[in-house]
Amino acid sequence: MTMEKGMSSGEGLSQISAVKVTAKDLETKQPQKDRRGGFVLVHAGAGYHSESKAKEYKHVCKRACQKAIEKLQAGALATDAVTAALVELEDSPFTNAGMGSNLNLLGEIECDASIMDGKSLNFGAVGALSGIKNPVSVANRLLCEGQKGKLSAGRIPPCFLVGEGAYRWAVDHGIPSCPPNIMTTSRVDSERETERKVFLFAVGSPSNGCRGRRIALIRRQEQGFSLAAFKRNKRKLELAERVETDFIQLKKRRQSSEKENDSGTLDTVGAVVVDHEGNVAAAVSSGGLALKHPGRVGQAALYGCGCWAENTGAHNPYSTAVSTSGCGEHLVRTILARECSHALQAEDAHQALLETMQNKFISSPFLASEDGVLGGVIVLRSCRCSAEADSSQNKQTLLVEFLWSHTTESMCVGYMSAQDGKAKTHISRLPPGAVAGQSVAIEGGVCRLESPVN
């Protein structure tokens, strides 16, 4: 990929260095007979992915892509394919979603997840949900039930359930519960070489609120069990609270953590899918920040913030799907998923996404008081294009453009088309010298899918 580093020219953006990556055109193989097409792009979070764990993050992204493609090839709905990818991502102990999620201040797991169907424009979401292994399955079931129309006595079916009520609804709809001790202390899949779970959370610089300062971060130790991690995190939080009363000690601590070259991981997971008919779907799932307040709901549960999917229509030349990751409060206040989806109707997807990340995210007036703006998105857009000269007349070509962009130090992605033998994975990083929270990385590609004309 050709990389080009430049300065943005927009008003108020003079301090933002933009990294422009020219997309590589990924020509895919011809489709196999009797197998349906489609494309999936997944992420294992925008945050920080160390080189030492890159292999594990890539592996789970690869498996998630394969699960979605298997569904698409079997003719499943885009929403079912995106759910299959998310289930795989949630089941990994390396991601902060589903099993092994970050624990809140009370040592409990509370998950957020949502899904959107670009065809029906329906949405399902759960927030602060405990005791269910795959929160995305509950979100997808809410979406499906919502599509069946009104409940008895004309009651409107819910699209967003939280807490104990969400748990009861899930169990009532046949989704098995999972004891909290299994979710919090699960051992890593025996195929994996280590039994580790990383717990990190962002530590801001001291109280003055000016922008442009580097975010200092404390790295939490790796260990095998999330409950032990929680206890260690709590002790470190108590220490931090004592330390922060003494600015000199705090400064020393920050310098020390900067030397370790660590950063915060905000490893929400998500996926976007387009099926062989051009229908899109998007989903997102998160365990939220470590030591969050119980009951806190982040962007992964919120309409317009965590994911967005919208098929082509009268006013939309493109079908679009978006999934976000990062600091929930930043993604909520900018309604970033929907913002990206709207921007992607412009002619140049790459430029539109870059401008959105700069103007509507980093420079958003809604985040003017933040030290740094941390997030990432994966997006795809697709449209039917005229058959190429060498194509047979009973084939349609679906042009899929896919991109990822982040302001965090790194973002782990994977992608695969039904015509590929295996998924490609990548850990995208800000270039050396770029400052997390103030710079944008953007990369992507193009995929052409051929499918029989219906």
Nearer to a second copy, 120 or 391 (CB): 120
Residue showing tokens 């999917």: 309
| Rg over CA atoms, the chain | 21
Under rule CB under 8 A, which residues in 11-40 are in contact with a second copy? 11
Give alpha helix (H) positions in 366-433.
Answer: none
Count of other CB atoms within 10 angstroms of residue 397: 15
Min separation Cβ 430 and a second copy, Å:
20
Instruction: Report the residue from 20, 366, 399, 426 that binds a second copy according to the rule CB under 8 A.
Output: 366
- Interacting residue with a second copy among 291, 352, 423, 430 (CB under 8 A): 291
Bridge partner residues of 395 (DSSP): 452
Q: Which of 36, 53, 276, 333 binds a second copy (CB under 8 A)?
A: 333
Q: Which two tokens stand for residue 407?
A: 């302001």
Closest CA to 290 of 220, 373, 200, 408: 200
CA pair distance 401, 381, nearest whole angstrom: 5
Contact with a second copy (CB under 8 A) among 214, 303, 346, 391: 303
Least distance (Å) between residue 303 CB and a second copy? 5
**C-alpha dihedral, 421 to 429 to 399 to 60, nearest 10°:** 40
19, with CB counted inside 10 A (0-12, 13-18, 19+), is buried
Binding to a second copy (CB under 8 A) within 94-113 occurs at 104, 110
Q: Which of 28, 79, 265, 268 is catalytic?
A: 268
Decide whether 162 or 273 has the Cβ nearer to a second copy. Answer: 162
- Give the count of residues interacting with a second copy (CB under 8 A): 67
CB of 123 to a second copy, least distance (A): 7
Q: In this chain, which of 64, 203, 353, 400 binds a second copy, going by CB under 8 A?
A: 203
User: In the complex with a second copy, which residue's Cβ is closer, 41 or 327?
Assistant: 327
SS (H, E, C) 44-70: EEEECCCHHHHHHHHHHHHHHHHHHHH
Asked if 105 and 169 touch (Cβ cutoff 8 Å), the reply is no
22 tagged catalytic: no
Residues acting as catalytic residues: 268
**Chain positions contacting a second copy, by CB under 8 A:** 11, 104, 110, 120-121, 123, 127-128, 149-150, 152-156, 158-169, 201-205, 207, 209, 216, 218, 236-237, 240-241, 244, 289, 291-298, 302-305, 313-314, 327-329, 332-333, 335, 338, 365-366, 368-369
